[in-house]
Structures are given as C-alpha cells and as structure tokens.
Chains A and B, each alone.
Chain A
Amino acid sequence: MAAPKISLSGVTKAFGAKKVLQGIDLDVAAGESMVVIGGSGTGKSVLLKCILGLLQPDGGSIRIDGEETAGINGSGRHRVMRKFGMLFQGGALFDSLRVWENVAFGPIQSDGMPAAQAREVAIAKLGAVGLGPEIGELFPSELSGGMQKRVALARAIAREPEIIFFDEPTTGLDPIMADVINDLIVKCVSDLGATAVSITHDMASARKIGHRIAMLYEGRLIWQGRTAEIDRSGDPHVDQFIHGRAEGPIQMQVRRL
C-alpha cells in the first residue's frame, strides 16, 4: 500500500486546562475523501487547523506526503501550504476585493501569475462552480450565502491544490443548496484528483462526499470506517449521532428543563 497522503499520529492540543485533542491517529490515502463528524465543540475545527498549520499541535506528528509538518515554519510551511486549499465555514471571502480578485488571489499574490491570466483562471473556476463571468465583477457582500460558498469553493480550487479541506461546507444553507454544494465538492475533488478532508455534523453531506468517515468524540476518534459501514458501526455513540437522538451515551452539557 502506498504511503498515506496525510498521516496523523498521537496529535494532542490543549487550550489552557481544556484538552481538545487527546491523541488523534488518522491516515488519509491519496485521492480519498475523509469526513470527520462530531458534535459542536468536539474539536473538529481545531483538528483541521492543526493539519493546515494554522494552529501548532502540542504533541504528536502530522505528516503530509511523508514529510513531518508539525512545528515547521517559514519557507517549509510555505511549500506545504501550497499543496492545500481550504473552504472556510463562513466563506471568509475578502470583502474589500471583487469576486474574481478573491478567486485569483492565490495565483496572483503567491504564485506571481499576471493579473490578466489569473482573471481567466478565475472566470474558468467560477464556471466550474456554476457561476457566470458577470458574477466576478460583484463584491462578496452582494451575493447570497449559497453563492458566497460557491465563490469560496472556486477560490479553494483556484491553485489546483493536492489536498482540499472543507469546514462545515453545508452549514447555514437550505437543503437543496446544500446538496448542490455537496455535488460540486464531489465533482471538484474528483476532477482535480485531490485528497479531501471535511468536517461536518450534517450526515447527509457526510454520506455524500465521504469515502470514509471518522467520528470525533471527547478529543479522540472513536470510530472510523467506510461510509457504507457507518450504519453497522456497532458503536452506540456513532448510532446516536447519525440518528440525531438526544438520548444516548453522548450527554449534551445543558441543564434539564
């Protein structure tokens, strides 16, 4: 078997006394789409930010293509970051720039592509997510939530990254638009032949975009397996989560009414 594209072992991260990640082991093969599910506040975003290098893990190892990336800085970080694309939960579009400038930002600012050429790339990528060239002239604040998500997706794939991260790609969208985004994600990832890591608590989205699913609970991955197997996981935590039951082994930190 080929070396995994992304390999985490024993990754820990704490904020003060709060231990968010307590030893994460996870391998993602090249071209595979991995979805990490888990409730709010279980550390999904922290896990993603550790792999991306936006947060430094306290311990453990994170290997990208076999290269240790925990603790690297400067040009090494820059080189690894070039392999990544990221779709942020709220889109995180630059509101002072036009839509096409947002999409062309990576090619222009860090790859040094001439603006005219980058503009064509941007328009092509906008087309790939089903947006016409006229949208490119607008500002992000003039777009609906679903369109902003699509522009953010176009920006994430603009540099044709090897690995794409999706942070709650369907949160805040209506079910139909959520499915449109899911389809686009599946299409973009397979067109690029990229490896994908998504975090979500939307099971419909997880089933659609994931080849494999892992569940994060109390700082650990309590289950991982193929998407088709999740209904036969035999784990009561997973069962409770995928069926969305309030009663079960996972107790929410809320007061009884």
Chain B
Amino acid sequence: MSLPLITLLGRMTLAFLEAVGAVAAFAFEAVRQAAQPPWYRQQIVRQMLEIGYFSLPVVGLTAIFTGMVLALQSYTGFARFSAESAIPNVVVVSLTRELGPVLTALMVAGRVGAAMAAEIGTMRVTEQIDALTTLSTEPFKYLVVPRLIAGVVTLPILVLIADIIGVLGGFLVGVYKLDFNDQAYLRNTLDFLQFQDVFSGLVKAAVFGFLIALMGCYHGYTSKGGAQGVGMATTNAVVSASMLILTFNYFITEAFFAR
C-alpha cells in the first residue's frame, strides 16, 4: 500500500525538478539572447509603457491605502507605549523595504504577467511564433527579451513611485487624523530613513520585474492546446510569479539585513 504513495512522491519530485530545469534553461537562453544584438527598441518601449505607465493607477491606489493603513495600525499599537513618534519611521521603513516592492510586484504580476502569458500563448497556438521564425526574426529576441528588459528597468521606477505615494498616504492619515505636526512627521520620516532601506527595495523590484516577465513569457511560450492551454498558461504565470516573488523576497532580505 505504501508503494503507490512513494511512486507518487517520486513522480511529483521529478516533475518539479523538470519544471525548474526547463525554467532555468529558458531564463539562461533569454539572458544570452539579451546580451547580443539586434535589440528591438520599439518593442522595449512598448513593453515599458505596458508594464510601467499603465500600471500606475493600480500601483498608486495600492500604495496610498497601504501607507494609510500602516499609519493607522501602528498608531493603535504604539499609542499604548506612548511611542507615537516612531510611526513615520515605521511607515517609511515598512514601505521601502517590504510592502512597496512586494505589493507592487504582486499587483503587476496579476496585471502584466497574465497579459504576457495570454498574448504570447495565443501567438504560440496560432503559429504566430513559427511565423516570426520564418520571417528570420528570432522569437526570443522579439518577444521575450524586450519584456524581460522592460520588467527589470520599469519595476524599480514603479516601486520608487509607490514608496513616495505610500509615505504620502501615511502622512495624510498622520496629519489629518492622528494630529501629527506636518513638519515633525516629515522630519521623522526622513531622519531615520537609510539609503539601504530604499536601495534594497529597488533591488528587490528589479528581481521581481525579471521574475514576472520570465514567468509570463515562459508559460506563454510553452503553452499548447488552444484556448484551454492559454488559460492554464495565464493562471500558471500569475501563481508561479507570485510564489517566486514571496520566496525571493525572503532571500534578498536575508542577504541585505541578516547579521
């Protein structure tokens, strides 16, 4: 009776390792291709608009409410110890180090990663990717590389904007609801903020941008079997990107801040 269970476990392990290997090979090929010309500048710009500019409303709303709720929540906790003056610092550090990059990346993964997988997946099942090859255009260079470059470049910019909007949210709640002095709030925000807080967040953002684009492209590129296959690719792209974001978030944090 125990044998089928072991068989199942083995099969799952093998399938998992196979998937990891396939993704790693895909990522390696993409980076190799990104290093050599030609680069399709128009495609890179288009993807940067898609990932960056058109994500601004979603990211902005996420950031402002996160900043507001952070200020409110830390107030209810810190007021018990009369430590209200730490609130601006708590807000800005949580945002720049963790919530800014992670929440932005998760929102973008849902918005952009899914769209990438759906678009490339549809191109795969309608033979448009084969058509690219027959027109002497390397599909990797034309489809995958621009998305990866755009992801790596754009996410840090988005996160920086999210950080600023998030701090603004905290400021609004602090000043208009919790009766902070506006000058003191800003001073407390900036005085204790270290370069590394922001920098680590931006490094995370670049890594997350790579992961989102990689998962969107990988699942789209390898999708098969018509509409159902494309649907599955879309789901897989979002789920796997989200899991990878949370996993990598821990390890990058450890690399920066663990003693």
Name A's B-contacting residues (CB within 8 A).
49, 52-54, 78, 81-82, 84-86, 88-90, 92-96, 105-106, 109-111, 155, 159
Contacts and interface: CB of A to CB of B under 8 A. Distances in A.
Contacts of A49: 130
B126 A109 contact: no
Of B126, B127, B137, most A-chain CB atoms within 10 Å: B127
Nearest 9 pairs of A and B residues by beta carbon = A110-B136, A92-B131, A92-B127, A86-B134, A106-B135, A88-B127, A81-B136, A92-B128, A109-B137
26 contacts: A52-B133, A54-B130, A81-B133, A81-B136, A82-B136, A85-B134, A86-B131, A88-B127, A88-B131, A89-B127, A90-B127, A92-B131, A93-B128, A93-B131, A94-B123, A95-B128, A105-B135, A106-B135, A106-B136, A106-B137, A109-B136, A109-B142, A110-B135, A110-B136, A110-B137, A159-B135
Nearest to B123: A94
Contacts of B130: 49, 54, 86, 88, 92
Contacts of B134: 52, 54, 81, 84-86
Interface in B72-121: 119
A88 B142 CA distance: 19
Contacts of B123: 94
Contacts of A81: 133-134, 136
Contacts, number: 51
Contacts of B119: 96
A142 B19 CA distance: 39
Contact of A90 (B126, B133, B136, B137): B126
A109 B135 contact: yes
Interface of B: 40, 119, 123, 126-128, 130-131, 133-137, 142
Of B123, B128, B135, B142, most A-chain CB atoms within 10 Å: B135
Contacts of B135: 105-106, 109-110, 155, 159
A85 B134 CA distance: 7
Nearest to A52: B134
A86 B136 CA distance: 11
Given A52-B133, A90-B127, A109-B135, 8 more contacts: A84-B134, A86-B134, A90-B126, A93-B128, A93-B131, A94-B123, A94-B128, A109-B137
A78 B130 CA distance: 14
Contacts of A110: 135-137
B128 A105 contact: no
A89 B128 CA distance: 11
A166 B119 CA distance: 25
Nearest to A85: B134
Contacts of B142: 109
A165 to B, nearest CB: 8
